[in-house]
């Protein structure tokens, strides 16, 4: 289930995409990570890593980053120092409401995830690393898909991964994302400001 690949196109945005950060999610995320092609990266570098199966610990829990997989994630971030950090996750269909519930912030301290379409959700990465490891201007996104996703959901997931891989900088990403999902971009900016202050989502 583990997978590692580097696409290096010279100077430009440094990207790190990590999938399967806990539990069995890697069995789903590896397919999408492997679908990213050399031509999807116009410049800069993309490091792709899919974690092996591990015990499920939420990334909102401090204990996650003390686990073997959590330490792997921290090592990759600290080693490659990405300007764009994307975490790929999958979720059980019965957890959709928990993840998107407007009361999620009251219960967990983080805003609800936002649906792009076809059950594909987007949000920020854990504040435990977003506000401590990354710079304000870095791009940090969590992307979720049902673990037993239909083809139409996988298509949305994979296409948005390519949007992320092709973005040359924050402004370019926001422009590309807003063309496809204008309402979702506005909502994500609102949520990000609520939880991170001046930390923007894209």
Per residue in 177-194, pLDDT tens? 999 999 999 998 888 777
What letters, b where the CB count within 10 A reaches 16 and e where it falls short, cover 92-130?
eeeebeebbeeebeeeeebbbbbbbebbbbbbbbbbebb
Name the pairing type of β-strands 84-91 and 44-50.
unpaired
Per residue in 45-77, pLDDT tens? 999 999 999 999 999 999 999 999 999 999 999
Predicted confidence at residue 65, as pLDDT, reads: 96
Per residue in 145-154, pLDDT tens? 999 889 999 9
Distance CA 23, CA 43 (A): 33
Q: Tokens for 106?
A: 């009251």
What is the three-class DSSP state of 161? helix
User: Which residues are within 8 A (CB) of 142 and not within 5 positions of it... i.e. 6 or more apart?
Assistant: 86, 87, 89, 113, 122, 123, 124, 125
Does 122 or 109 have the greater pLDDT score?
A: 122
Top-tier CATH class for 3-196 = alpha beta
Using only C-alpha atoms, what is the Rg of the chain?
Answer: 15
């Amino acid at each position: 289930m583990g997978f590692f690949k580097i696409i290096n196109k010279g100077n430009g945005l440094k990207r790190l995409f990590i999938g399967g950060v806990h539990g069995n999610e890697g069995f789903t995320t590896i397919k999408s990570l492997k679908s990213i092609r050399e031509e999807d990266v116009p410049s800069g570098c993309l490091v792709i890593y899919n974690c092996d199966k591990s015990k499920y610990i939420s990334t909102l829990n401090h204990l996650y980053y003390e686990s073997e997989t959590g330490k792997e994630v921290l090592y990759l971030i600290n080693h490659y120092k990405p300007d764009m950090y994307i975490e790929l996750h999958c979720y059980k269909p019965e957890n959709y409401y928990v993840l998107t519930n407007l009361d999620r912030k009251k219960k967990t301290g983080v805003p609800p995830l936002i649906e792009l379409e076809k059950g594909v959700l987007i949000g920020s990465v854990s504040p435990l690393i977003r506000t401590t490891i990354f710079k304000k201007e870095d791009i940090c996104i969590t992307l979720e898909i049902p673990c037993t996703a239909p083809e139409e959901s996988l298509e949305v997931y994979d296409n948005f991964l390519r949007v992320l891989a092709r973005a040359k900088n924050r402004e370019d990403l926001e422009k590309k994302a807003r063309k496809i999902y204008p309402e979702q971009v506005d909502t994500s900016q609102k949520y990000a400001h609520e939880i991170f202050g001046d930390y923007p989502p894209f």
